[in-house]
Structure 1
Amino acid sequence: MAAKAVGPVKRSFAPWRDPASAPFIEFRNVTKRFGDFVAVDDLTLTIYEREFFALLGPSGCGKTTLMRMVAGFDEPTVGEVLLDGQNLAGVPPYRRPTNMMFQSYALFPHMTVEANIAFGLKQDRMPKADIATRVEEMLALVKLTPFAKRKPHQLSGGQKQRVALARSLARKPKVLLLDEPLGALDKKLREDTQFELVDLQQKLGLTFLIVTHDQEEAMTVADRVAVMDQGRIIQVATPAEVYEQPNSRYVADFIGDINLLEGRITVCNDGFIRLDCGVGGGTVEVDQTMDATPGENGWFAIRPEKMTLSLDPPENPTVNCIAGDVWDIGYLGDVSIYHVRLAGGATVKATVTNRTRLVERPISWDDKVWLTWPRDAGIVLTR
C-alpha cells in the first residue's frame, strides 16, 4: 500500500486555535538566571500534544535553556514548567517522559549501532527479548537494518544522525527534544532529513520540540515557531504567519530577506494605510488593518520575491514604485538576486526567478530599473 501524505493531517492540526485544547507543555512566567545573567526573562509559552514546535533565535537568546528546563538539566529560578499537567519541579531527568537528541549525537564509539540503540533500554532493565524487538523496530524505522552491526566510525554523518534519533525514540518518550539535530550535516542531506523528521513525527504521533538558529529548518519542520531574542519570545505563529505577517522589524529581519522602507504614516483607516517614504521610497499604499495614527513613523516591509523588476517605467510611477540602478547581482541558479541602489542611497533587494536558461542577462549591472508591487504584497510595521 502506498504511503499516505501528511498534508491532510497538517492542514487540520491547529489545537492552539481551540480554546478547549489543553496545553501539553507549559512555561508559566519562567525566569532563569545564571548569576547576574538573565537567560530567560518572565516567559510564558504553551505547546500542544503531537505538535512539532520550534524555538528559533540567535545564539544566547535562551532557546536551549528552555529545552534544558523541560529535560530537567536546569530548573527555573522563578516560575513553573508543566508537562501533561504535572509540575516538573524536582523531577529528575531520568524520571521525565522526555528524551533529548544532541547535535553531537554522543554515540558510544566502541558499541555497534544496535548496541547504541539498546543502551537506554538496558538501563531501564527492559527484558532482553523486548529489547531485541524494540531495537529491530527502531532500525526499521530509520532504515538502518543493514547497518546494525557497524560501529559509528563506519557510518556517514547522516547515518550517525539516524542512530542518535533511533536511540532517542527507543524508550518511547512523550516528548522528543532536538537540540540543533541537523547542524553537523551538509546542506543537501540536511534538507532531505528535515522532511524525514516531519514524516517520522507524524507517524509516531509524538510531541517534538526543536531548538535551532536555522530559519529554513524551523520553517520546514515546525507547526509553529517561537522567535526569541534576549530571553523573551517576540512572536509565536505558524511559519507562514511569521514570514508573511511578522509583528516587528526584528522578526521580519530575522526570518528570510526583507526590505524595510522607513516613512511617515499619512492615512490609516478602513483597512488601508498610506506611507510617505520620502526620497527614493515615494508613496506606499498597503491593504492592511492596524492601530496607527497619521503622523506616526512606520516601516514598510516587503520580501524581495514580492517585487517586480523591470527596465520599463510603470503607468503610475508615483505609488508602490521605486526606481534605482542595479548595483550588484547574485546568481543562485534557480533565482537571481538584484541589489538596487535608490536615489536616497539606500539599497533594496529584488528576486527574479530564472525560468529560462540564461544566455544573456536581460537586466544587468548599472541598468536603470523600476521596482513595483501590489498593495497586498507587504506590511507596515510600527515597532
Structure 2
Amino acid sequence: MAKAAIGPIRRKFAPWDDPNAKPLIEYRNVTKRFGEFVAVDNLDLKIYEREFFALLGPSGCGKTTLMRMLAGFEEPTQGEVLLDAKPIVGIPPYRRPVNMMFQSYALFPHMNVEQNVAFGLKQDKLAKGDIEARVQEVLKLVKLEPFAKRKPHQLSGGQRQRVALARSVAKRPKVLLLDEPLGALDKKLREETQFELMDLQQTLGMTFLIVTHDQEEAMTVADRIAVMDKGRIIQIAPPAEIYEQPASRYVAEFIGDVNVFEGTVTTAGDGHKVIAAHAPAFTIDALSRIDCGQGSTVAFAIRPEKVRISLDAPADTSVNAIAGEVWDIGYLGDVSIYHVRLENGAAVRVTLANRSRVVERPISWDDKVWLSWERDAGVLLTR
C-alpha cells in the first residue's frame, strides 16, 4: 500500500531542517570523470524520503550524470552513493529499488497501454492477478483507464507521457528518476502535467528526483532545488528561497529574470547597506545582513516585478530611484514587460501586472519614466 498523501501538510514538510532526519539518498564526495573531463566534482548531497527534488542547471553541468549514477548506468570515479543508508555502487541497475522515466518515454509500439504498464511487473514475475490489479490502479491514478487497449501511436503526446509515468511507478520503486520528462510536451500541456505530477507524487508518497534545465518547471514541482554548474552544486534551497535569496550572482541570473547593479558599499550599517552604484551613478539603500564592510564591491540584484515604473518622479529621488526612457514593451496579457534604457545605455527590465482592462494613461514607447523600489526589494551579492 502506498503511504497516505501528504498534500494537506506539505507546507510543513522540511526534513532537511531536522538534524535527526536520515536521508534516503546520499552522495558522499562523489566525483565522476570521463577521461580528462570532470562531470561531477567532489559533490555531497542528501535527499529525503517523500521529497520531490530537482537537479537544475544548463546542459553539461552534471545533473544527468548525477542521476545516472543513482540509477546504476554510471559508476562514480570516486566517492559513495547510498540508498536507504546502504552503498549501491557496483549493484546493477535492475537490482536497485529505483526506476527511471526517460524523456523519449521508450514505449513498446507493438504493445497496448496495459501491456506497456505491465511489462516490468511481468519481468519481476508477479502473480497474474497482482499484475492486473496493479495495472488498473496506476491507470486510474494517471487517468488512462479509457485508453487501456490503445497502442502508443493512437495516443497524444501527453497520454504517452502518462503511460511512461504509469509504467515507471507500477513497480513501486523507492525512488522515481525523471529525466526531462515533460520536454516533449507543448507549453500549456507541460504546465498542466507539472501539477498532475505533483499530485501523483503526493498520492503515492514516493521520492521523486527530476532533472531539468527548465527553471519554471523546477520551481513549480520541487520541494527543493539544487542549482548546478560545472559539476558542482551552487545552492540547495526551496524554490522561494532560491528565487528571493539567491546565494550568488550565478543563481540570481539563472533563475528567472533579474536586474543587477554593480557598486561599492559606502555605509555598512546594522541590517542595511548603502551602495554607490557605478554605472550609472546613483545611490542604493538596501536591507541586508550580508557580511561586507565599507569599500566592498558588491552586486545589487532586483527582480523585474519588484521595480516600480512611473511617469512621475517618486517623493524621494536620492535613493533607490533612477530615471530612464522606455525602449521596448512586451504585452503578455497578464503582465507587461518594459525595457527601460538608462543614461549609460544599460537596460532595466520591469514587469507590471495588468490589473485593469482599461488604462487611462498607459506608459508607452519613448516615455521618460522613473524606476524606484523599496529597501527590502533586492538582495546584495558578494559572489
- Which TM-score band (shorter chain)? over 0.9
CA deviations 1:39-83 (Å, max 9, x no partner) are 000000100000000000000000000000000000000100000
3-state SS of paired residue (1:348): strand
Aligned to 1:371: 371
**For residue 311 of structure 1, what is the amino acid of its counterpart?**
L
Structure 1 counterpart of 2:272: 272
Compute the displacement of 1:318 (Å): 1.3
Q: CA deviation at 1:359?
A: 6.4
Shift of the 266–74 alpha-carbon distance from structure 1 to 2, 3 Å rule, reads same
- Check the 8 A contact 1:30/1:43 in 2, yes or no: yes
C-alpha offsets along residues 94-115 of structure 1, whole Å, 9 cap, x if unaligned? 1100000000000000000000
Instruction: Tell me, yes or no, if the aligned pair for 2:47 and 2:53 is still in contact at 8 Å.
Output: yes
Are the counterparts in 2 of residues 326 and 367 from structure 1 also a CA contact under 8 Å?
A: yes
Query: Any idea what SS the aligned residue of 1:280 has?
Result: coil
- Equivalent residue for 2:10? 10
Matched ranges for 1:335-350 at <5 A: 335-350=335-350
**Equivalent position of 2:76 in the other structure:** 76
1:19-48 residue CA offsets vs partner (Å, 9 max, x unmatched): 000111001010000111110000001000
Q: 1:6 to 1:331 in 2, by over 3 A?
A: farther
Aligned residues: 380
3-state SS, counterpart of residue 280 of structure 2: helix
Q: What code does the residue aligned with 2:192 have? A: D
Mapped partners of 1:5, 1:164: distance in 2 = 22
Aligned alpha-carbon RMSD (Å): 1.3
Determine the structure 2 residue equivalent to 1:305: 305
In the alignment, is the contact (CA less than 8 A) between 1:26 and 1:44 conserved in 2?
yes
The Cα shift of 1:280 comes to 2.7
**In the TM superposition, what are the counterparts of 1:38-77 in structure 2 within 5 Å?**
38-77=38-77
State how far apart, in whole Å, the 2-side matches of 1:361 and 1:108 are: 59
Unaligned runs of 5+ in 1: none
Q: What pairs up with 1:196-215 in 2 under 5 angstroms? A: 196-215=196-215
Shift of 1:367: 0.5
Percentage of pairs with the same residue:
71
Matches within 5 A, 1:209-358: 209-358=209-358
User: Is the contact between residue 6 and residue 199 of structure 1 (CA under 8 Å) also seen in structure 2?
Assistant: no
For the residue of structure 2 that corresponds to 1:20, the secondary structure is coil
Give unpaired runs (5+ residues) of structure 2.
none
Q: TM-score, normalised by structure 2?
A: 0.97
Report the 3-state secondary structure (helix = DSSP H, G, I; strand = E; otherwise coil) of the residue aligned with 2:345: coil
Deviation at 1:250, TM superposition (A): 0.3
8 Å contact 2:320–2:374 — kept in the other structure? yes
Task: Note the C-alpha offset of 1:278.
Answer: 3.4
Counterpart of 1:119 in structure 2 is 119
Structure-2 separation of matches of 1:377 and 1:153: 50
* Native 8 Å contact 1:281 1:322 kept in 2: no
CA drift of 1:231 comes to 0.3
- Within-5 A mapping of 1:120-139: 120-139=120-139
Aligned residues of 2:7 and 2:202 also touching (Cα < 8 A): no
Distance in 2 of aligned mates of 1:184 and 1:358:
38
Residue aligned with 2:177, SS? strand
Deviations 1:104-139 (A, max 9, x none): 000000000000000001111111111111111111
Distance 1:269 1:224, change over 3 A: same
The answer as to whether partners of 1:50 and 1:206 remain within 8 angstroms in 2 is yes
- Change beyond 3 A, Cα 1:358–1:103: farther
Distance 1:361 1:305 in 2: 20
Where in structure 1 do 4 or more consecutive aligned residues deviate above 3 Å?
Answer: 4-8, 358-361
* Equivalent AA in structure 2 for residue 39 of structure 1: A
Local SS of the residue matching 1:235: strand
Distance 2:134 2:101 in 1: 18
> How far is the alpha carbon of 1:377 from its aligned partner?
0.4
Residues 284 and 359 (structure 1 numbering): CA distance in 2 closer, same or farther, change over 3 Å?
Answer: closer
Deviation for aligned residue 1:357: 2.2
